[in-house]
A and B are shown apart, each in its own frame.
Chain A
Amino acid sequence: MEPRTSVIEKRLKDINRIIAVASGKGGVGKSLVASSLALHLAQKSYRVGLLDLDLYGPSSHIILGVKDEFPIEEKGIIPPKIHGISFMSIVYFTGEKPSPFRGVDISNIILELLAITQWGSLDFLIIDMPPGIGNETLDVIRYMKTSEFLVVTTPSKVAMGAVGKLLMILLELKKPVLGVIENMTMTDSSFIKKEVHRLQARYLGKIHFDEHLEESIGKPDRLLKTLAMKDLSRILQKIKL
């Protein structure tokens, strides 16, 4: 009998809102949106946690500039605070080595992380999701029942094809979708907006391609001052974040 599922609800009970930043497609900027959202909320003095569930290719730690921090072992593990954010990632246990996990291992890791992480009281827990609708998405839906989804795409028709499938499954399962952010835009095309509306989801707006953004990776103070962050803040106002 699997005991870990019994304790997850208790671990999450003092978290007011859980927001999963997701996409059907990789490389659209989910991690950057998730980290920026967490920084934005922490700057507004909310108590914020960030859980990187991209187990094959974790990258939130790179964006936040995490160096030698490690969780504290205390009746479980307490995530270290990075720029005011309680940050949990598989990277504490893998270092920078490759992670060749199969599906069943992914679910086991997620269960273990949810069972042993002591988040304490949080206003928001942001989840940086991996791309697609595989184990991680299904496990978040299964074990983190109050999760809301913030979906990210790029202006590409290819990205939107996969993002559309994620939206369809979330809507079919009646999961709350806060809306869709169009990231890295370079034109005024309305293609994504129309597609999102066709799928009966909320279109939240564009984050323009910011050629200086890369210089802010690993430097959260600089990241907060980028043009991309300004666009994101404007979008987040629409959903009262």
Chain B
Amino acid sequence: MHEWALAESIVMAAVEEAQKEKLKKITQVTVFIGELQQIEKEIFLFALNELAKSQKPPIIKDAFLLKTEKSTLTCKNCGENWKYDDMKKKLNETESESIHFIPEVVFVHARCPRCGSPDFEITKGRGVLISSIKGVR
């Protein structure tokens, strides 16, 4: 369950930011989950809620709002745009799991569906990001 490690980074970053902003309480943390990382949402949310206990400043119950961000991959060679969803049928289980751990290995296991180039970029939906933190001063 490597979701735990990512959840830990979210909680630590939110607490750090709240301390900087002198918040007395964190009431909401909105987290974007990039499609490419294929996070198990239930496990991730469980980890976030467990890790949120006994933090300073405190994080209120059910503070985490998870939003899935669809991926966009863009070919630098021909300009084609596509989604992880469009190509995942072509990946075997090992390849897909490797992308789950390190999203950038998509460049190793996939190619542009139009021109076959490995030179594309992840323009959206890579991994986990905090989009906003709300709290009480």
Contact partners of A1 in chain B: CB under 8 A: 13, 17, 129-131, 133
Contact with B along A42-61 (1 / 0, CB 8 A): 00000000000000000000
Q: Which of B92-112 contact A (CB under 8 A)?
A: 94, 98, 101-105, 107-109
A101 to B102, CA, bound (A): 12
Interface assignment of B127: CB less than 8 Å from any CB of chain A: yes
Known interface pairs A73-B2, A74-B1; A94-B9 also in contact (CB < 8 Å): no
| CB pair B107 A99 closer than 8 Å | yes
Q: Which residues of A88-105 are within 8 A (CB) of B?
A: 90, 92-95, 97-102, 105
Check: B57 CB closer than 8 A to any chain A CB.
no
- Whole-angstrom distance between the Cβ of A175 and the nearest chain B Cβ: 25
Cα-based distance from A222 to B13 in the complex (angstroms): 46
Which of A3, A98, A101 contacts B128 (CB under 8 A)?
A3
Q: B1-16: which have CB < 8 Å to A?
A: 1-2, 4-6, 8-10, 12-14, 16
Report the Cα distance A65→B102, complex, angstroms.
23
Is the pair A3, B12 in contact by a Cβ cutoff of 8 Å? Answer: yes
Q: How far is the CA of A136 from the CA of B103 in the complex (A)?
A: 18
Which stretch in A13-21, A107-115, A127-135, A233-241 binds the other chain?
Answer: A107-115
Q: Which of A4-12, A79-87, A191-199 contacts B (4 or more CB under 8 A)?
A: A4-12
Residues of B in contact (CB 8 Å), total 33
- Count residues of chain A with CB under 8 A from any CB of chain B: 32
Report the Cα distance A164→B98, complex, angstroms. 37
Q: Are B105 and A118 in contact (CB under 8 A)?
A: no
Whether a CB of chain B sits under 8 angstroms from the CB of A176 is no
Tell me if A75 is interfacial: C-beta within 8 Å of chain B: yes
List residues of chain B with CB within 8 A of the CB of A76. 2, 4-5
CB of B92, distance to nearest CB on chain A (Å): 11
A100 to B109, CA, bound (A): 10
Given contacts A74-B1, A75-B5, A116-B5, contact A3 B130 (CB under 8 A): yes
Q: Are A94 and B108 in contact (CB under 8 A)?
A: yes
- Of the candidates A1, A74, A75, the one having the most CB atoms from chain B within 10 angstroms of its own CB is A1
Q: Per a CB cutoff under 8 Å, which of A10, A73, A74, A105 touches B104? A: A105
Let me know if B69 is at the binding interface, CB within 8 A. no
Q: How far is the CB of A24 from chain B (nearest CB, A)?
A: 25
Excluding A5-B13, A6-B13, A101-B104, 8 further A-B contacts by CB distance (< 8 Å) are A1-B130, A3-B128, A3-B130, A4-B9, A74-B1, A97-B109, A105-B107, A109-B104
- A–B complex contacts, Cβ < 8 Å, 11 sampled: A1-B133, A2-B13, A3-B130, A75-B2, A75-B4, A90-B102, A94-B108, A97-B108, A112-B104, A113-B102, A118-B5
